[in-house]
Structure 1
Amino acid sequence: MRFLLYTTLLVYIIMVSAAPARGQQSPEVAIRQLMQQQTEAWNQGNIPAFMDTYWRSDSLLFIGKNGVTYGWQATLERYQQSYPDKAAMGTLQFDLLEFKRLNPELYFLVGKWHLQRSLRNVQGHFTLLIRKMNGTWKIIADHSS
Structure 2
Amino acid sequence: MKKLLLLSLTFFALNAFAQSKQDRQIILNILDKQTKAWNDGDVSNFMKGYWESDSLMYIGKGGIKYGYEGTLASYRKNYPDKASMGTLKFDILHVNFLAKNTCLVVGKWHLARPEKGDIGGHFSLIWKKIKGKWQIIADHSS
Q: TM-score range by the shorter chain?
A: 0.7 to 0.9
Equivalent residue, structure 2, for 1:87: 83
Question: Which 5+ residue runs of structure 2 have no aligned equivalent?
Answer: 1-6
121, 124, 134: which one pairs with 1:137? 134
Within-5 A mapping of 1:38-77: 38-77=34-73
Query: What do residues 28-74 of structure 1 show as CA deviations (whole Å, max 9, x unaligned)?
Result: 10110011011011000000100111000000000000111000000
Distance 1:20 1:126 in 2: 26
SS of structure 2 residue aligned to 1:52? helix
Distance 1:133 1:61 in 2: 16
Within-5 A mapping of 1:16-35: 18=15, 20=18, 26-35=22-31
Identity %: 46
**Segments of 4+ moved more than 6 angstroms:** none
Q: Aligned-pair distance for 1:20?
A: 4.1
Question: Which structure: greater helix fraction?
Answer: 2
Q: Which structure has the larger Rg over C-alpha atoms? A: 1
Question: Which 5+ residue runs of structure 1 have no aligned equivalent?
Answer: 1-9
Q: Aligned-pair distance for 1:99?
A: 1.1
Distance 2:125 2:69 in 1: 18
Distance 2:74 2:91 in 1: 23
Distance 2:18 2:127 in 1: 19
TM-score by length of 2: 0.86
RMSD (CA atoms) = 2.0
